Structure 1
Amino acid sequence: MRFYAIGDIHGHLDQLRNAHRLIEEDRGRVRDPDAAVVHTGDLVDRGPDSRGVLEYLISGRATGAPWVVLLGNHDRMFLRFVRDGLAHDPAVRSGKSWLHPVLGGATTLASYGVEAEDGSFEAAIDAARAAVPSDHLAFLAELPLWLETEAHICVHAGIRPGIPLPQQAEEDLLWIRDDFLLETADHGKLVVHGHTALKMPVFYGNRLNIDAGAGYGRPIAPVVVEGRAAWMLTDTGRFPLRAP
Structure 2
Amino acid sequence: MQTYAIGDIHGQFHLLQRAFELIEADRSREGLADSPVVVLGDLCDRGPHSASVIGHLYDRQAAGENLIVLKGNHDRMFSIFLDDPFGRDPRLRAEFTWMHPRLGGPETLASYGIREPANRPTAQVHAEALAAVPAAHRTWLARLPGSYRRGEAIFVHAGIRPGVPLEAQTEDDLLWIRADFLDDCRDHGALIVHGHTAINTPIHYGNRLNLDSSAGYGGPLSTAVIEGRKAWLLTEQGRLPLG
**Does the 8 Å contact 2:10/2:43 carry over to 1?**
yes
Deviations 1:70-90 (A, max 9, x none): 000000000110123345323
In the other structure, the counterpart of 2:88 is: 88
Q: Aligned partners of 1:143 and 1:135: how far apart in 2?
A: 12
Q: Equivalences for 1:229-240 in 2 at 5 Å?
A: 229-240=230-241
Q: Aligned partners of 1:150 and 1:219: how far apart in 2?
A: 27
In the other structure, the counterpart of 1:222 is: 223
Q: Aligned partners of 2:208 and 2:119: how far apart in 1?
A: 36
In the other structure, the counterpart of 1:100 is: 100
Q: CA deviation at 1:151?
A: 1.1
Matched letter for residue 203 of structure 1: H
**Does the 8 Å contact 1:39/1:68 carry over to 2?**
yes
Q: Runs of at least 4 residues of structure 1 off by over 6 A?
A: none
In the other structure, the counterpart of 1:112 is: 112
Q: Percent identity?
A: 52
**Does the 8 Å contact 1:87/1:98 carry over to 2?**
no
In the other structure, the counterpart of 2:131 is: 130
Instruction: Name structure 1 gaps, 5 residues minimum.
Output: none
In the other structure, the counterpart of 2:12 is: 12
Q: Aligned partners of 1:87 and 1:212: how far apart in 2?
A: 29
In the other structure, the counterpart of 2:182 is: 181
**Coordinate RMSD, CA, aligned:** 1.2
Matched letter for residue 122 of structure 1: A
Matched letter for residue 208 of structure 1: L
Instruction: Name structure 2 gaps, 5 residues minimum.
Output: none
Q: Aligned partners of 1:46 and 1:117: how far apart in 2?
A: 13
Deviations 1:24-43 (A, max 9, x none): 10111101111000001000
In the other structure, the counterpart of 2:74 is: 74
Q: Aligned partners of 1:130 and 1:20: how far apart in 2?
A: 30
Deviations 1:66-123 (A, max 9, x none): 1100000000000110123345323121421111110000000001111211684222
**What TM-score does the superposition give when structure 1 sets the normalisation length?**
0.96
